[in-house]
Amino acid sequence: MSAIGMYKLLRRLEPARAQLAAHGVYQSLETIEDVRIFMEHHVFAVWDFMSLLKVLQGHLTCTTVPWVPVGSPRLRRVINEVVLGEESDEVDGRPTSHFELYHHAMKAIGAQTRAIDRLIADVRDGASIEVALHECGAPVGSSAFVQNTFEIIASGKLHMIAAAFAFGREEPIPNMFRTLVAALARQNSEKVQSLVSYLDRHIGLDEDHHAPMVVEMLAELCGDDPVRWDEAAQAAIASLSARLTLWSVVVSEVSLTRMGISRRRAA
């Protein structure tokens, strides 16, 4: 049944996955300024990825004291390996999270980090996601994307969270990022090299390791339950739709900036 459930899920995702692959955002990045705009929007997706991951870790492993064995040892191994790579990867001989790697790439290219920095500061001080998004002035597409992520988290349904993580994040990333790398190659600028390094790291890590593991994790969580497979598909479609909206907002912002009527806030 799990094989049938996965087959049906993939069939339902086909339209959104095709739209994502053909989206105009990749061809819109013609200048360094275009790339800055992209990063200022996309960084919110880089950040909230970790909350999806941490929810999964919290449910699939024991993160409390005293420790007791929780759930499937195989799933514990999967999620802890992904956490190791995402939260404390080793890049150029130094440990770093992928969010911090992306933040460094933003600085290298001259992108504004004020909004995401304010969001993190407000969340650290106890603000709700809704308040933090409003106060930091997050772009509308980024705000909608993050809100969708936390709505799925709030469902409390692990198979839905895993579906959003697997098919809204890990599985599409290699193809998306490979297309972005090709687009950035047109820049012929040293300023984009940190971003390219970030993208290349994800292509290899997700394609060869993380994506296959988390897809298998989802299959185990849904098992033979058709209701879980249906809810998983809904969550994955919602995540892909949020990504499409985010990409469309980036294209719109790039166009507005070229016309001299950008809505971006000053640093």
Is the pLDDT confidence value at 205 over 90?
no
Phi and psi (nearest 5°) for 89?
Answer: -70, 160
Residue that has been written with the tokens 């209701």 in this structure = 227
Residue 227 corresponds to which tokens in the numbers above?
């209701």
Q: Determine the average pLDDT of the residues in 198-215.
A: 90
Beta bridge partners of 94: 91
Cα 259 to Cα 254: distance, rounded to the nearest angstrom: 9
Q: Convert the pLDDT of each residue in 68-102 to its tens digit.
A: 999 999 999 999 999 999 999 998 889 999 999 99
Cα 101 to Cα 94: distance, rounded to the nearest angstrom: 11
Beta bridge partners of 96: 89
How much helix, strand and coil, in percent to the nearest 5, is found in the chain? Answer: 75, 0, 20
Is the pLDDT confidence value at 266 over 50?
no
Amino acid symbol at 230 = D
